[in-house]
Amino acid sequence: MTTRAALARIAVLTALTALTAPLLAACGNPDPAPEPTSASTPTPAPTPAPAADSLAPSPTLLVTDFGADTVTFVDPARPGRAADLGSVRVGTAPYGLAVAPDGTAWVATAEGVAVVDTRARTRVALVPHTTRTGPVTTGEYRGGGMGIALSPDGTRAYVGVNVPGGNGTLEVVDTATRTVVQVVPVGRRPFDVDVSADGRRVYVTDHDSFDVTTVDTAGWATRRTEVAPYGTEGGLGSWLKPHYTAVRPSDGALLLPFEGERLAVVDPSTGRVTVEPMTANTHQHGVTAAPDGTLYVVGTGPIDPATDAGPSLTVRTPDGSERLVPLDGPHETVTLSPDARTAYVSGGFTREGGWDGLTVVDTTTGRTTRLPVGHLPLAVAVLPDRP
């Protein structure tokens, strides 16, 4: 029996005998006590964002402050606290983030989808969720928007909405009218949302139901594909679930990393899942693919410190070879600069160990720089150049 399979079996026994044990406070348990680094963190007042003409040249980053109700603008070229260019209120516990070519940012929050004019540095709208998610709260298991993505033509925003204790939905927002025009049932806790290059399919990564929901954007038909290379034993208490997905540029395959040991490759047309080996041996979350197919995967740290490796960024080339960049402390997501020479890794891991900042990684040399910014920054986006 593998270490991961054994851990999954342990999770079952633990769930039956000690629902408050540390294992079930992991990313699988839907109703834990609030994490001190997120749910119990007071919401700070936003710092004023400077006028657009005073900002440093591109690249400028935007991050969601999951530990607050803001998004923060970041200049990664500035040292230390000078990198923080100010923040804007968007809504409770912002999670995912998608930015249109015109600079409009669409932010998934517990209250709805916030629309931010990143040039004026202001929130211009809030599209309320039509899905009933219960009281607006903070913390890792709060209801409301999680993953979010834009259609290739920019006419729709797709947001995965978490419903505590049940299956979630995919809400479709018309970006012109800023209204929800379609609601599609998906799985539990939709961590991530991705869109095919042609816009015909939306992929929702359903963390707590061990699957990916494929949504046909023409007629809104759905197909659920189980993605569980370690099996589903352990249920909600298992660590061994899908978190984030990357769409491979060459063929549109879905790439989901697990535990620094296995990469699940899903054919979106057939739902067939194959598994390839990985080498980081660490609990993995965020993932993104460069245009050339190189995969970047965030390792948050060990499940079992006695046998597993610490936090890292895996750089995996299309031929399957991997290079590991050690990270200082847990991280959550990764975003690339337009030339893929720099990776921005968010420190806002939603469990204990998250921190207020980003790690900037030179993807050629592996050199890392920590930038203190925001309040548990979770999602990161590179803003387009100003005209």
Question: Tokens at residue 316, please?
Answer: 């995996």
> How many CA atoms, within 13 angstroms, populate the side-chain half-sphere of residue 169?
17
d(CA 90, CA 130): 18
What structural domains does the chain harbor? 3-382 (2.130.10.10)
Hey, is 10 helix, strand or coil? Answer: helix
Sheet containing 334-336, strands listed edge to edge, beginning at the edge strand earlier in sequence: 334-336, 342-346, 357-362, 368-372
Report whether the peptide linkage leading into residue 249 is cis, meaning its omega lies within 30 degrees of zero. Answer: no
Question: Tokens at residue 185, please?
Answer: 């049932």
Give the DSSP letter string of 273-314.
EEEEE----SEEEEEEE-TTS-EEEEEEE-SSTTTS---EEE
d(CA 349, CA 25): 14
Hey, is 55 helix, strand or coil? Answer: coil
Residues in the chain: 387
Q: Print pLDDT tens along the chain (387 aa).
A: 454 545 544 443 343 333 333 333 345 444 433 333 333 334 445 544 444 434 334 599 999 999 999 999 999 999 999 999 999 999 999 999 999 999 999 999 999 999 999 999 999 999 999 999 999 999 999 999 999 999 999 999 999 999 999 999 999 999 999 999 999 999 999 999 999 999 999 999 999 999 999 999 999 999 999 999 999 999 999 999 999 999 999 999 999 999 999 999 999 999 999 999 999 999 999 999 999 999 999 999 999 999 999 999 999 999 999 999 999 999 999 999 999 999 999 999 988 889 999 999 999 999 999 999 999 999 999 999 865
Hey, is 190 helix, strand or coil? Answer: strand
Note whether 326 and 376 are within 8 A (CB).
Answer: no
d(CA 146, CA 188): 11
